[in-house]
Structure 1
């Protein structure tokens, strides 16, 4: 009897030890730190980029846009339309959660919202003028599943386009592979797919293609193809309503 009790005690101690090891490994995963690293890997703090945005309709019809964009810090971004001709010269500005559209013929900026889309398709203005994920979301949980981290993110305010995100992050590259975007009701709004990792130079190695689809837009698909992402220092003046008509001067 004494030997049996001793064996049970030793077994319990062994299990407890393994649990402690597993718990320590889980505790080592810092969702906030990983999310910040994801942001750093996706884009420098101050940069310029060119990208093509393609909207694909259920019948295969495509509409393409080429944009030149600049970003500074965690809350400033501008995008200038270079084509098609009907959109050329238009520009959009984002300061935190505030957004504006400048149309040359109108001559003054117009307020727009994050859930609207200046290009139509599945991407909304928040996607086109995306800030750092860590500036908008808190990491509420993280687990490792094979070669991926699974991050649950919660919006910091109700002004943000998506109430929560489920982000799948490549463990080695520390960039997203898929992101599911949800409304406060729990409804899936869209899924983002990061693909085709490319070396853009100067330490910027990130996916060069972003695709999206949505159960709300059945049969529709949108994608962004990044041709250039490079570090660039920019003056705060660039990110102002008065500068929107002059963004092309930066190129």
Structure 2
């Protein structure tokens, strides 16, 4: 009888505003929510990438971005005109670049960059973080969750990540990316949280800086996100030259 009464009291308290009940989320839970809030499994959207050099000069690219499941990504260059029609394909850790009128697609790596600047190919064609990383530690810092992530394999672009996550929105505000040696490779800043499509609030701007590229900055702006179901055939080497027909 006493146990039943105690349970009833707990249930009533949990219904009160401001009272937190239940088990606290694990790092794995939080990372899964971060992934879903940043990008659904199957969608399309546009991304503008701006590379800024120390002298203030800028170069801009617009890419159409397609993702399916957890490991399939295609991007199509929309502008500038000199790059329009180029496309990239990522299947897991394997990546290719298609250039019109240049034979078959070229193999590329995660640490290279098809647009130059501070963003590498892994940043541009990013998979879900939970696909590539395990959570090794969870604590609080500056009123946010701080996740420590370790790469599952040596094929991942960064060996270790430190990710600060907003408690309410469950989206990152900052990610520090480290090499296996412990050296900081770059820092990603997530800004301007808003609905860019699909009815979910997520960062619309990502900026990056790197101690390895002093004075250089790169900015990625996301817009017009829509869920879209696409056939597996779209995410193949033989389809890259036809991607533009899907826009």
TM-score greater than 0.5 by the shorter chain: yes
Instruction: Give unpaired runs (5+ residues) of structure 1.
Output: 1-24
CA deviations on 1:160-190 (whole Å, 9 max, x unpaired) are 0000000000001000000000000000000
Provide the residue aligned with 1:73 in structure 2: 69
Separation in structure 2 between the aligned mates of residue 118 and residue 110 of structure 1, nearest angstrom:
11
Q: Does 1:249 align with 2:230?
A: no
Q: Secondary structure at the residue paired with 1:149?
A: strand
Q: Secondary structure at the residue paired with 1:28?
A: coil
Q: Does 1:222 align with 2:247?
A: no
| Matched-pair contact (CA < 8 Å) for 1:78–1:94 | yes
Cα deviation for residue 86 of structure 1 reads: 1.1
Provide the residue aligned with 1:89 in structure 2: 85
Cα deviation for residue 80 of structure 1 reads: 0.4
Provide the residue aligned with 2:4 in structure 1: none
Provide the residue aligned with 1:112 in structure 2: 108
Higher-Rg member (1/2): 1
Q: Which residue of the other structure, out of 204, 211, 226, is the alignment partner of 2:207?
A: 211
Provide the residue aligned with 2:24 in structure 1: 28
Report the count of equivalent residues.
226
| Matched-pair contact (CA < 8 Å) for 1:202–1:230 | yes
Structure 1 segments (4+ residues) deviating >6 Å: none
Task: Give the RMSD, CA atoms, in angstroms.
Answer: 1.2
| Matched-pair contact (CA < 8 Å) for 2:206–2:220 | yes
Cα deviation for residue 58 of structure 1 reads: 0.2
CA deviations on 1:29-57 (whole Å, 9 max, x unpaired) are 40011000000000111000101000000
Q: TM-score, normalised by structure 1?
A: 0.88
Residues 138-147 or 162-171, more deviating? 138-147
Which structure features the higher share of helix residues?
1
Q: Which residue of the other structure, out of 154, 160, 163, is the alignment partner of 1:167?
A: 163
Separation in structure 2 between the aligned mates of residue 171 and residue 196 of structure 1, nearest angstrom:
16
Provide the residue aligned with 1:49 in structure 2: 45
Separation in structure 1 between the aligned mates of residue 225 and residue 163 of structure 2, nearest angstrom:
22
Residues 200-209 or 115-124, more deviating? 200-209
| Matched-pair contact (CA < 8 Å) for 2:198–2:225 | no
Q: Secondary structure at the residue paired with 2:245?
A: helix
CA deviations on 1:54-105 (whole Å, 9 max, x unpaired) are 0000000000000001001110000000111111100000000000000002
Q: TM-score, normalised by structure 2?
A: 0.89
| Matched-pair contact (CA < 8 Å) for 1:29–1:142 | no
Alignment map for 1:149-160 (pairs within 5 Å): 149-160=145-156
| Matched-pair contact (CA < 8 Å) for 1:204–1:229 | no
Instruction: Give unpaired runs (5+ residues) of structure 2.
Output: 1-20
| Matched-pair contact (CA < 8 Å) for 2:197–2:224 | no
Separation in structure 1 between the aligned mates of residue 100 and residue 196 of structure 2, nearest angstrom:
32
Cα deviation for residue 146 of structure 1 reads: 4.7
